[in-house]
Structure 1
């Protein structure tokens, strides 16, 4: 028997028939993972081991596995539970935010996120996925629809208490769900001459890919034409935006000023990938119901990823090792407490 685990985990994939695969062949895949409270108390050791093994493959080898019960039943509660939608950073996976998902699920929330097509380590990177940020918001809306209809969750999720949390580029998705409108020329003009103006490390020539893709890819061309649509999901009640990427400078100020739900912004003072003045601080000056929580002068960008295995610390020190004196687990606990207060305040 295995005791002490009250968090279930499941995953799946479905097709969004409205949008194409970046290759142009077939529909856009929505690959998702979900963490949730469970009352299942009887399990074999093999079940727990399978969940831990998922941390080495499905959930990502970089991060320390957390105790999970794979495909357990959603806990029976007096009333439906809030749902928090997650969006990962550039080129990452939703597993990188498993530390937040696990903590929230252990406190009675359902948490689910998408590995965004073309922009996730779960599949081959594609420049289209790194350019068309607005498609991420659609992924999260489709996921919410899917879970609300899924027999495993139907009736257990409160459709009136949907929230969103995003890290780095995921912060762009979170704000798009609140009504942020993207204008790519606005971002390209602002980013010109800045270190991140050309593209991320996965595609350092990303800006040069736009014109060829417009000429060659119908899927990219169709998405590019959608960039300034409103992807607001009126069901979203609040947002946690962690170290928002500089891409947020592509939002129109008017659309940000119109956001009327609570937004919690948090960033470290040593963040070089998403400096506070370029993202979180700028957003705080425009979003009326926003709160900015700095995390300390020596806190970097990747503190918002999970705690790494020793092997990953050796292989990927840039994303796994923080500055001296920075306790990643302590910061995770602090941010999770802020998130819990935002998404499920006492008495709600």
Structure 2
């Protein structure tokens, strides 16, 4: 536990990095020696003037290619869910950047809004963590502003299959054969319907043993509505020792608690900071929808009753920022 003086110094450091209300933004592609180039969105504190800019069917107030303000900045990596993109959690990325973080969100190859070639297949589960680690390596070593990052303060945020990706990244070792066990014991599980709908091979026997990508540089994780968590059997999360903030939707029809968040909660050797969103479904953790997005993909934009997703995301983002500040605050 820090002394009052050290805590005061950390607080001053956070004030210094949080003084910039403006958020800079870059959209880049990085090379992948094993596949297609990976698109990445980067948000960061800046002193440049922002302006409204389109982001797919969304809009954000950012300073495109603005300067990166501050030094020794903490870094957060974001992994989206199935069919998602680097824009899926842009509002959370902006909130973190306003608080002094640099944030990179990748668009996962083969599992995004434009390319579903990996969906339902083992390669999606295995390759996602590798892609995430590749982006983390590039940001810390090759991003032109990487010297402004604090490599000792790295976190990860993952939603749905991005939650699974994040759990692997921080030390989890899933057992892919457990998918067949899930679908034999719970044939109505949404994961099983998803595999059938996408004609995937996750239920087929596979004698190979995957090489899972882990990254010890990650010091804290926010996991929201993790999917396919049944793949983590007894002991499969025993190497996860970092602080975790775990979120779930009470009425999640895509990643039900019993076979997903409940499994994570049970198997984690460290007790997570838990949050539940009452009466809501899986997609409540996605950024609030624009009218254009709601028209194009209404199923991810509809919430139950008179629930206000924009208001919820204000408190959600505040909690995410507070967690990462607490866990990554000390150098």
TM-score computed with the length of structure 2 as normaliser: 0.85
Q: How far apart are 1:156 and its partner, in Å?
A: 0.9
Q: How far apart are 1:249 and its partner, in Å?
A: 1.2
Alignment of 1:1-348 (within 5 A): 6-17=22-33, 19=34, 21=35, 28-41=36-49, 48-49=51-52, 52-53=53-54, 55=55, 60-61=56-57, 63=58, 65-75=59-69, 77=70, 79-121=71-113, 123-127=114-118, 130-132=121-123, 133-150=125-142, 152-192=144-184, 193-200=187-194, 204-208=197-201, 225=208, 227=210, 229-245=211-227, 247-345=228-326, 348=330
Aligned partners of 1:238, 1:290: CA distance in 2, in Å? Answer: 13
Q: Which whole-Å deviations, capped at 9, do the CAs of 1:96-145 have from their partners, x for residues lacking one?
A: 11011011001100010111100011x33203675321211111211111
Q: How far apart are 1:151 and its partner, in Å?
A: 5.0
Aligned partners of 1:209, 1:254: CA distance in 2, in Å? Answer: 22
Aligned partners of 1:82, 1:226: CA distance in 2, in Å? Answer: 34
- How many residues are paired up? 307
- Check conservation: 1:164, 1:238, Cα contact below 8 A: yes
Provide the secondary structure at the position in 1 that maps to 2:258.
coil
Q: How far apart are 1:208 and its partner, in Å?
A: 4.9
Could you say if the C-alpha distance between residues 128 and 279 of structure 1 is closer, same or farther in structure 2, counting changes exceeding 3 Å? closer
Aligned partners of 1:87, 1:163: CA distance in 2, in Å? Answer: 11
Aligned partners of 2:152, 2:120: CA distance in 1, in Å? Answer: 30
Q: Structure 2: which 5+ residue stretches go unaligned?
A: 1-19
Q: Structure 1: which 5+ residue stretches go unaligned?
A: 22-27, 215-220
Q: Which whole-Å deviations, capped at 9, do the CAs of 1:294-322 have from their partners, x for residues lacking one?
A: 33331211111111122332443221121
Aligned partners of 1:278, 1:335: CA distance in 2, in Å? Answer: 23
- Check conservation: 1:32, 1:112, Cα contact below 8 A: yes
- Check conservation: 1:83, 1:157, Cα contact below 8 A: yes
Choose 163-172 or 295-304, whichever is displaced more: 295-304
Q: Which whole-Å deviations, capped at 9, do the CAs of 1:281-301 have from their partners, x for residues lacking one?
A: 221111122325333331211
Moved over 4 A (4+): 208-211
Counterpart position of 1:25: none
